[in-house]
């Protein structure tokens, strides 16, 4: 697939999320993600607000679903999400329930292999159960305890093991993110307001600088 750039809105309220989304869309970002903190703070109302503001953009709801798969996916689809995230360490029945809801509501499923004891086996299981994408995810807390950990620990093996598109998430710099398509992960994601190249971007930060960073990222990804 052609490279895609996704902004993860890891904020806690709709106002800040919309402000950040405006900058990202102006920079040329393709997909908008309602990050887990945003969903915890505002729920499906955040997805609905993003859908209203950006009716043509794909919207990812990072639910990290572990149970109640059909209902969670259904709720987000009705709110305007085009993609939902289910955890690979969930019971396979939950994964299948999310996939069923996705097929019923014409959305896509992203399977997150974070915390899987065997990342490759988890990715293959997700694909076998109907996931449309695999997320190779090194968690925030894991990296906090061991900064050496990164998606590169498993990325190559996972890319070789599955036939569906892969995304790498967790602690990547802007330059590393831009190189992901070359590593077989064409779904490039950058978080906001997480640390980006040792700079912390929040809605109050200079938007001109953030716009420049994101435009540069989009250009690198699209020109690779």
User: How far is it, in rounded angstroms, from Cα 202 to Cα 147?
Assistant: 23
193: preceding bond cis by omega (within 30 degrees):
yes
Q: Given the structure tokens 């620990």, which residue do they identify?
A: 153
Domain definitions of the chain by residue range: 4-223
Structural tokens at position 83: 């993609």
At 30-83, the pLDDT tens digits run 999 999 999 999 999 999 999 999 999 999 999 999 999 999 999 999 999 999
Q: Are 86 and 108 in contact (CB under 8 A)?
A: no
User: How far is it, in rounded angstroms, from Cα 194 to Cα 136?
Assistant: 18
User: How far is it, in rounded angstroms, from Cα 86 to Cα 70?
Assistant: 11
User: How far is it, in rounded angstroms, from Cα 18 to Cα 12?
Assistant: 11
In this prediction the pTM is 0.94
Alpha-carbon dihedral angle through residues 201, 206, 207, 209, given to the nearest 10 degrees: -80
Q: Which of 139, 61, 59, 127 is nearest to 95 (CA)?
A: 127
User: How far is it, in rounded angstroms, from Cα 178 to Cα 131?
Assistant: 24
Q: Given the structure tokens 């490759």, which residue do they identify?
A: 120
Domain 4-223 has CATH 1.10.3720.10: no
The β-bridge relationship of strands 133-137 and 108-112 is: parallel
Question: Which residues 6+ apart lie within 8 Å of 157 measured at CB?
Answer: 119, 120
User: How far is it, in rounded angstroms, from Cα 94 to Cα 86?
Assistant: 8
Residue 100 has what pLDDT? 98
Residue 173 has what pLDDT? 85
The kind and range of the H/E element at 172 are: none
User: How far is it, in rounded angstroms, from Cα 84 to Cα 53?
Assistant: 19
Q: What is the residue-level pLDDT of the chain in tens, covering all 224 positions? A: 999 999 999 989 999 899 999 999 999 999 999 999 999 999 999 999 999 999 999 999 999 999 999 999 999 999 999 999 999 999 999 999 999 999 999 999 999 999 999 999 999 999 999 999 999 999 989 999 999 999 999 999 999 999 999 999 998 888 899 999 999 999 999 986 554 444 554 554 578 888 888 999 999 999 87
């Amino acid at each position: 697939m052609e490279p895609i750039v996704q902004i993860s809105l890891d904020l806690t309220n709709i106002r800040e999320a919309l402000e950040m989304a405006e900058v990202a869309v102006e920079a040329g970002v393709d997909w908008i993600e309602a990050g887990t903190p945003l969903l915890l703070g505002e729920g499906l109302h955040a997805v609905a607000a993003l859908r209203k503001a950006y009716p043509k953009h794909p919207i990812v709801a990072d639910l990290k679903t572990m149970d109640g798969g059909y209902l969670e996916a259904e709720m987000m689809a009705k709110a305007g999400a085009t993609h939902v995230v289910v955890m690979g360490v969930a019971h396979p029945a939950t994964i299948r329930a999310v996939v069923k809801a996705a097929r019923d509501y014409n959305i896509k499923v992203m399977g997150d292999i974070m915390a899987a004891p065997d990342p490759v086996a988890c990715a293959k299981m997700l694909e076998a159960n109907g996931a449309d994408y695999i997320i190779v995810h090194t968690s925030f807390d894991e990296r906090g305890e061991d900064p050496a950990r990164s998606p590169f620990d498993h990325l190559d093996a996972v890319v070789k093991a599955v036939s569906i598109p892969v995304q790498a998430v967790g602690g990547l710099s802007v330059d590393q993110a831009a190189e992901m398509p070359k590593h077989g992960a064409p779904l490039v994601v950058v978080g906001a307001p997480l640390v980006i190249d040792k700079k912390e971007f929040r809605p109050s930060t200079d938007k001109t600088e953030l716009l420049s960073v994101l435009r540069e990222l989009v250009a690198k990804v699209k020109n690779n």
